[in-house]
Amino acid sequence: MGIMSDHPTETILGNAEIILADRVIERGWIVMSDGLIAEVGEGDAPRGALDMAGDTLIPGLVELHTDHLEAHFSPRPKVQWHPLSSVIAYDAQIAASGITTVFDSLRVGQDSRKDAFNDNLESLADTIHEAQQSKLLRVEHLTHLRCEVCSPDVVDKATRFLAQRAVHLMSLMDHTPGIRQFRDIEKWLDYYRGKTTMTEAQLQKFVEERQALNRELEPLHHRKLVELARSRNVPIASHDDTTIANVEESISDGATLAEFPTTIEAAAASHAAGIKVMMGAPNVVRGGSHSGNVAASDLAREGTLDVLSSDYVPGSLLMAAFQLPADIPSITLPQAVRMITKNAAEAAKLHDRGELRAGLRADVVRVHRHDSIPVVRTVWHQGARVV
Ligand SMILES: [Fe+2]
């Protein structure tokens, strides 16, 4: 339920370009009733329609992986903002980006990062929940629990989290230097050299320790985390798949999403197995990966890109979806929009949203195209206007 009001009985949106899952209606209308889409039509709208002035209507976006709350909770390195105030500001930015279903990323299992955000994950999760229950939020917030598989406390932490709170997606990450995202160990060293005061010798020792932890803990932790997800019917995501062996493991885990594969081969194998391949929308907008791995647009060109995630810039989702068809002629606008709506919803096993079709949730975004930049004008969540 949105912040503005309970959904009005009926709202009609007319004189709009409408992006369906498989085609575009150049001029059409949508009737929203009791929080659902009641009807979608072509041509003149029924009486009483709001005039969309030729703007584009797309389904509310589904964002599976964002840590943007962090920017609101910890806006400066040593500043912690009021938790509820942070959550409300974050939610407003998410809604204004056209996102009506957001998976807030919360990380369990320590890595090298010790900071205010990671120290307050559980209380932030509870704050989001409290805000949602009190109807203070504009969009639906779900939880994406990111599990760092090789950290010693990850199984205990994930078990405790799941015993106390709802989780809607679990990803299994392994950032051990020398594999996956950091297959090239020099990349890992570059990444850490910029962030640490460790000497070269200390860094080398740290690498060896991380690799030993991987050998010791990965097989057992991996199995336990998969069991935990399955026992609660939580969809599983793999992370940074690099080799065919990585993909085979994620197939046997029953994963429905592959986050940020680092190679063309891994993406192709996941896509062929029906696992939705997700890449960062900023990567599309900026034209490449900031970590030097495979680019999202390369996968799009290969036809193996299924889902985009805004990652660290909420507005990138919409920008990327409108940019892709311009960059890559073989991709249609409905196809690109599916990457930020229907495909993402399906990867998270949500079948009641992600498309402008009668019977689904009335999550609708009015987009004005200003030259090539899509501008969010209005957002309806379950039929209620929230932006
Ligand atoms: Fe990663």
In what order do the strands lie in the sheet containing 257-259? 61-66, 99-108, 140-148, 169-173, 236-239, 257-259, 276-280, 307-309
With pLDDT > 70 as the criterion, what percentage of the chain qualifies? 95
* Distance in Å, CA 44 to ligand 1 centroid: 48
pLDDT at residue 2, rounded to an integer: 45
* Distance in Å, CA 194 to ligand 1 centroid: 17
Gap between the Cα atoms of 373 and 387, Å rounded: 18
pLDDT of residue 278 exceeding 60, the answer is: yes
Nearest to 161 by CA among 146, 173, 174: 146
pLDDT at residue 116, rounded to an integer: 62
Give the pLDDT mean for 361-379: 96
Q: Which of 209-223, 249-263, 291-305, 322-336 has the lowest mean pLDDT?
A: 291-305
* Distance in Å, CA 198 to ligand 1 centroid: 22
pLDDT at residue 6, rounded to an integer: 55
Q: Which residues surround ligand 1, an ion (CB under 5 A)?
A: 181, 240
Query: Does the 1-59+353-387 domain belong in CATH 2.30.40.10?
Result: yes
Place of tokens 């503005």: 4
Question: Which of 266-274's residues contact partners 24+ apart within 8 Å by CB, and which partners?
Answer: 266/241, 266/242, 267/241, 267/294, 267/299, 267/302, 267/304, 267/305, 268/302, 268/304, 269/244, 270/238, 270/241, 270/304, 271/303, 271/304, 271/305, 271/306, 273/247
Which residues share a beta bridge with 379? 365
Q: How confident is the model at residue 112 (pLDDT cuts 50, 70, 90)?
A: low
Cα 44 to the center of its chain, rounded Å: 36
Q: Are 103 and 144 in contact (CB under 8 A)?
A: yes
* Distance in Å, CA 178 to ligand 1 centroid: 13
Gap between the Cα atoms of 94 and 128, Å rounded: 13
pLDDT at residue 117, rounded to an integer: 67
**Could you give the residue ranges of the DSSP H alpha helices within the chain?**
69-73, 83-96, 116-119, 121-133, 154-164, 185-193, 200-231, 244-253, 264-272, 281-286, 296-302, 316-327, 333-338, 342-347
Q: Which of 4-13, 20-29, 281-290, 368-377 has the lowest mean pLDDT?
A: 4-13
- Residues 367, 369, 373, 376, Cα dihedral to 10°: -20
* Distance in Å, CA 239 to ligand 1 centroid: 6
Gap between the Cα atoms of 350 and 334, Å rounded: 19
Q: How confident is the model at residue 132 (pLDDT cuts 50, 70, 90)?
A: very high
Comparing 1-59+353-387 with 61-352, is the CATH topology the same?
no
* Distance in Å, CA 216 to ligand 1 centroid: 20
pLDDT at residue 9, rounded to an integer: 79
Q: Which of 109-113, 263-267, 341-345 has the lowest mean pLDDT?
A: 109-113
pLDDT at residue 72, rounded to an integer: 93
* Distance in Å, CA 177 to ligand 1 centroid: 11
Gap between the Cα atoms of 301 and 324, Å rounded: 10
pLDDT of residue 8 exceeding 80, the answer is: no
Identify the CATH assignment for 61-352 out of 2.40.170.20, 3.20.20.140, 3.40.50.2300, 3.10.310.30.
3.20.20.140
Gap between the Cα atoms of 280 and 81, Å rounded: 27
Distances (CA, A) of 159 to 119, 277, 342: 17, 27, 30
pLDDT of residue 248 exceeding 50, the answer is: yes
Mutual orientation of helices 83-96 and 121-133 as an angle, nearest 10°? 70
pLDDT at residue 114, rounded to an integer: 57
Gap between the Cα atoms of 62 and 66, Å rounded: 11
* Distance in Å, CA 175 to ligand 1 centroid: 6
Distances (CA, A) of 9 to 58, 301, 364: 21, 43, 16
Place of tokens 């068809």: 325
pLDDT at residue 181, rounded to an integer: 87
Q: How confident is the model at residue 1 (pLDDT cuts 50, 70, 90)?
A: very low
Report which residue type is found at 262: T
Q: How confident is the model at residue 195 (pLDDT cuts 50, 70, 90)?
A: confident
pLDDT at residue 186, rounded to an integer: 86
* Distance in Å, CA 9 to ligand 1 centroid: 44
pLDDT of residue 340 exceeding 50, the answer is: yes
| Domain layout of the chain by residue ranges | 1-59+353-387, 61-352
For 334, how many CA atoms within 13 A lie in the half-sphere containing its CB? 12
When comparing pLDDT for 237 and 121, which is higher? 237
pLDDT of residue 272 exceeding 60, the answer is: yes
* Distance in Å, CA 135 to ligand 1 centroid: 33
pLDDT at residue 234, rounded to an integer: 98
* Distance in Å, CA 150 to ligand 1 centroid: 13
* Distance in Å, CA 141 to ligand 1 centroid: 23
Q: Are 34 and 9 in contact (CB under 8 A)?
A: yes
